[in-house]
């Protein structure tokens, strides 16, 4: 279970399952999928920084669920059926005509909102799972050659971030010692900006000197190969997704 997968495998897995969940349009199926995703994340997590994305996605999903439910209760178009409880009717200003807050809340109304909220939360959870198990670094490395320029820009930007952080610390130190206490953005941001821009020009010279842009075709050092495990995962997921679509229709 711990063999490294191609970075795109889990993303394809997430997309295929998302399609299945949307097509099946059933809250119970969605909850099962979330549970499966949670198990997969728990098993395959390796302690890297991005592993937290899944928990974050679950939280955001729960938030959306709550919002949907509250919205449904307060301003949902009523669906007739068994009334569960009543909310006092609030009067709104005249320029918001036709909108009434409150009234009877029916079971059908509540379950409809919750159902939709669960579907959306499931989608978020799936993408969160894919994000938490894929290293952004590896993702950048498998960018196809036809978006190489954009890809390399992102790679360079990502590598610059630790440099920017240390520059900021250094400048903050020096400014404090010039007796400038929190004079704000100008004294900190400007030296940082100047230094970063100077570095970018040196970087451009270095890239040109190393032959960037001369050849249209590029090779890959240590390419990440698509293995049989990846095909297996995709095939299984596709099958599952199709089953979900069939069960709905």
Partner 1 sequence: MIAFSNVSLIYPHSTKTILEDLSCEIAEGEMVLVMGETGSGKSSLLRLINGLVPHHTGGILAGDISVNGISTRSVKPGALAHLVGIVGQNPISGFVTDIVEEELAFGMEALNVPPETMRKRVEEVLDLLSLNSVRNRSISTLSGGEQQRVAIGAALVMHPRVLVLDEPTSALDPIAAEEVLSVLHRLVHDLSVTVIIAEHRLERVIQFVDRIIYIEGDGSTAIGSAEEILKNAELVPPIVRLARVLNLSEIGTSVRDVRRLTEDIRGREFLSEPTLPVERKPAINISHISISYEGHIALKTATATIGAGEIVAVMGRNGAGKSSLLHSIVGLLSPHSGNVLVNGIDPQTLQGAARRRAIGYVPQEPSDLLFKQSVEAECAQADHDNEIAPGSTFSLLNRLVPNIALSTHPHDLSEGQRLALVLSIVLSGNPEILILDEPTRGLDYRAKSLFIKALQEFASTFNRPVVIATHDVELVAELADRVLFLAEGEIVADGSTLDVLLSSPAFAPQVSKVMSPKPWLTVADVVNSLSSL
Partner 2 sequence: MNRTKDIFRFKGLATFALVLTSAVSALGFIWPFLVSEKQSHPQWIFLAAVPCALFLLFISASNGELDAKSIALLAVLTALIAALRPMGTGAVGIEPMWFVLILSARVFGPSFGFLLGALSMVLSALLTGGIGPWLAYQAFAAGWIGLGVALIPRRIRAKSELISLAFYGIVAAEFFGIAMDLQFWPWTLGADSQLSYRAGAPLSTNLLHFISYHFFSSMAWDIPRAVFTSTLILVTGKPILHALRRAHTRAAFLTPVEFIERAKAPKVEL
Scanning residues 162 to 221, which ones bind partner 2 (CB under 8 A)?
Answer: 164-165, 185-186, 189-190, 192-194, 196-201, 203-205, 207-208, 212-213, 216
Give the residue, chosen from 77, 91, 214, 249, that forms a contact with partner 1 under the rule CB under 8 A: 214
From CA 116, how far away is CA 193, in angstroms rounded?
Answer: 46
Report in angstroms how near the CB of residue 210 gets to partner 1 at its nearest: 4
Query: If you write DSSP's letter for every residue of 124-144 in order, what string do you get?
Result: HHHHHHHHHHS-HHHHHHT--
- 222 Ramachandran zone, left/alpha/beta (phi>0; psi -120 to 50): left
The residue whose two tokens read 């903050």 is: 172
Q: Which stretch binds partner 2 (CB under 8 A): 2-10, 133-141, 174-182, 238-246?
A: 133-141
**Which residue, among 136, 148, 135, has the nearest Cα to 219 in the 3D structure?**
148
Q: Which stretch binds partner 2 (CB under 8 A): 28-36, 153-161, 220-228, 241-249?
A: 153-161
Judged by DSSP in three states, 154 sits in helix
From CA 91, how far away is CA 3, in angstroms rounded?
Answer: 60
207 binds partner 1 (CB under 8 A): yes
99 binds, among partner 2, partner 1, none (CB under 5 to 8 A by kind): partner 2
Site string for partner 2, 20-49 (x = CB under 8 A): --x---------------------------
The residue count of the chain comes to: 249
Which parts of 136-195 interact with partner 1 (CB under 8 A)? Answer: 152, 155-156, 158-159, 162-163, 166, 170-171, 173-179, 181, 186-187, 190-191, 194-195
Report in angstroms how near the CB of residue 189 gets to partner 1 at its nearest: 9
The structure tokens listed for 237 are: 């997921």
From CA 236, how far away is CA 181, in angstroms rounded?
Answer: 60
Q: b vs e for 123-143, b when ≥16 Cβ sit within 10 Å of the residue's Cβ?
A: bbbbbbbbbbbbeeeebebeb
In the complex with partner 2, the residue whose CB is nearer, 140 or 227, is 140
90 binds partner 1 (CB under 8 A): no
Binding site for partner 1 (CB under 8 A): 152, 155-156, 158-159, 162-163, 166, 170-171, 173-179, 181, 186-187, 190-191, 194-195, 198-199, 202-215, 217-223
């Amino acid at each position: 279970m711990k063999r490294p997968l191609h970075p795109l495998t889990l993303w394809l897995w997430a997309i295929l399952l998302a399609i299945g969940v949307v097509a099946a349009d059933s809250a119970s199926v969605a909850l099962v999928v979330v549970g499966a995703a949670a198990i997969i994340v728990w098993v395959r997590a390796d302690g890297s920084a991005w592993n937290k994305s899944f928990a974050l996605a679950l939280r955001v999903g729960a938030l959306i669920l709550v919002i949907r439910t509250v919205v449904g209760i307060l301003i949902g178009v009523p669906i007739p059926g068994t009334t569960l409880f009543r909310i006092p009717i609030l009067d709104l200003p005249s320029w918001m005509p036709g909108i009434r807050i409150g009234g009877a809340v029916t079971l059908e109304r509540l379950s409809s909102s919750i159902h939709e909220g669960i579907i959306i939360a499931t989608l978020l959870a799936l993408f969160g799972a894919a994000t938490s198990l894929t290293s952004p670094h590896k993702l950048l490395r498998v960018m196809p050659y036809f978006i190489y320029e954009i890809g390399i820009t992102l790679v360079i930007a990502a590598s610059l971030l630790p440099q920017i952080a240390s520059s900021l610390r250094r400048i903050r130190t020096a400014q404090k010692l010039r007796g400038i206490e929190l004079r704000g953005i100008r004294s900190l941001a400007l030296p940082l900006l100047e230094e970063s821009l100077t570095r970018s020009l040196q970087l451009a010279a270095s890239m040109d000197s190393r032959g960037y842009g001369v050849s249209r075709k590029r090779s890959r050092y240590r390419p990440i190969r698509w293995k049989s495990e990846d095909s297996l995962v995709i095939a299984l997921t596709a099958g599952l997704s199709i089953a979900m679509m069939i069960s709905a229709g």
